[in-house]
Amino acid sequence: MSLGRLIGSTALDLLLALLIAFAGVFVYASAIAPTTSVGLARIAQAFGLPVRAADAVGPGRYLLSVDCTALPADDQAFIDWLRDHVGTRSVSVQRTEIPPGPQGETRQVEAIFYAPERLQKPAVPWQKLGYQPGQPAPRTGWSSMTPPVAYPPTDAELLMISLGSLQVGLLLTGFVRTWRNRNLPGMDLPREDGALAGGLGTEGDEEDDPTRPREDLALFGGLVLGMVLGGLYWAWDQALLHLWGPPASHSRPWLCLPSVGWNIARADLPFPWRSVEPHLILLLTLAGMAFLFPLAYTVFFGGLFRMWSASGRPWAGAVLTVLLAAGFVLDRHFIPAAVLLAVPVVWLSWWSRSLLAPLLALIILSLTMIGTAFGVLPGLPHPTNLLVGKWQPLDGDPRPPLGPVNLTHDGPFQFLRGDSVRGGYTLEGDTRRGVLRMPSNYQWIDAEHIRLIVKKESFDYTTSAASIETDLELVAYRVAVDRKELVLTRIGDGKVFRFRRVD
């Protein structure tokens, strides 16, 4: 095959893989984000591309409900009214039976929709639309979420979605390439006399080159190299953390794995999988990381290297394979390590004359990456590792008293791997009217400072027209932590919060 045809075939394979990856990202943006354009803009923003801030901010998300004694045959008139008078999009309406209310209410109608930010509660003419709210004081509910709350995925989560889509593209394209390579000779490198050493599809391998390893050692070679790659990955992980700091070391998208799914309501999942433990989203993500990534890389880059090798350009194919494999990790801080890891895997492909050996090595590497992300493979002492765990305030439990406020996830202040937070709720006011603050995520600014992302709910249940307004607050803290005690000093006012470890 000529050099021009090799370059053309490689370019077509890459284009097909990227098109499939983009299709996956587009489906996600269309199905999950408030609008497709906002979803794509947020993903581009996560990649560091220049995007106007306004393009990446979607509409607010709202919930409007009313308790009724009687309902019309359907809710189409209500949906049309919202679209005409409020400018809503993606309206969904649900009817539920409720325990009999003080005014005879037995049914509740709830609409969830997106609309312009800071929308005030609309004055819906319920009776004109065929609804019969309880009288004399109709019981209604109104909940508003600002755009950051309505569409809250982190950059790491968006990059992880893009990385998963890319793996699907590489896998499907790799299968096509493997089928097209079926009649090619094996992956060969030049011998000292200038001839090609025998490979897959040739006869007399050992006679051509008696020094080449036997194929029955392929799996053993994959096992050994996989453990070596795991050790190299752990060493690079620790070097990034201790030499370049948390922002560089935490930029790999798969490090968000431990926090995937915990803040996704199980009610949003299909009914058969709502009770699955661990969370279904986490299980699917782990399966993709453990098996989709190794298989996709092995099939795609193994097929690419074999095509170049069979055409008499094994060294050019090896260099191209290594550079592409490193670039597709989608993290510039990790590219040098990815190059270091890819070189022996390409060598193993040639050495073993099989795809099973590199597949096994990459599975072991992937399990190491998962183990490092979850802390199963512990790292050297560092504040980012010491912060993970459950912490009890030294001045008492801040848990608000029980009431109509949702405290499902409250408890000790818990920092999770993957930059999520549980518990640590604080309440200003009482359970009928007040402000509830719920930490949701944290980001390391440097080795001594974090930025805490707090969900703020301002609620009022004192009247029949209940309301909740939800927004986000960003608060920076200085961190001093050891194995037993945590001290957070708020940057804005210098207030100090002390905690002791309880796990």
User: Dihedral of the CA atoms 191, 192, 193, 195 (nearest 10)?
Assistant: 20
d(CA 33, CA 42): 9
126 burial via Cβ count (<10 Å: 0-12, 13-18, 19+): middle
Q: Residue 86: phi, psi to the nearest 5?
A: -115, -20
- Rounded to whole angstroms, how far apart are CA atoms 464 and 476? 38
Q: How many CB atoms lie within 10 A of CB 7?
A: 11
Tokens of 199: 């490979």
Indicate the pTM of the whole model: 0.82
| Token pair in block for residue 43 | 């993903």
Tokens of 319: 């260099």
- 32: its two tokens: 């999950």
What are the respective helix, strand and coil percentages of the chain, to the nearest 5?
45, 20, 35
Q: Which helix (H) or strand (E) holds 97?
A: strand 89-97
Rg of the chain on CA atoms, in Å:
28
CA pair distance 345, 358, nearest whole angstrom: 6
Which H/E stretch holds residue 497?
Answer: strand 496-501
Tens-digit pLDDT string for the chain (503 aa): 788 889 999 999 999 999 999 999 999 898 888 889 989 999 999 998 888 887 888 888 899 999 999 999 999 999 999 999 888 878 889 999 999 999 999 999 999 999 888 888 999 999 999 999 999 999 999 999 888 887 788 888 899 999 999 999 999 999 999 898 887 765 554 444 444 444 433 344 444 454 454 556 788 889 999 999 999 999 999 999 999 999 988 888 898 888 877 656 666 666 676 677 777 778 888 888 889 999 999 999 999 999 998 888 889 999 999 999 999 998 889 999 999 999 999 999 888 888 899 999 999 999 999 999 999 999 899 999 999 999 988 865 444 444 444 444 456 788 999 888 888 888 888 888 999 888 889 999 999 999 999 999 999 998 888 999 999 899 999 999 999 999 999 998 898 989 999 87
Q: At a CB cut-off of 8 Å and minimum separation 6, what does 226 contact?
A: 360, 361, 362, 363, 364, 365
Task: Give the whole-angstrom CA distance, residue 414 versus residue 420.
Answer: 9
Whether 341 and 232 have beta carbons less than 8 Å apart is answered as: yes
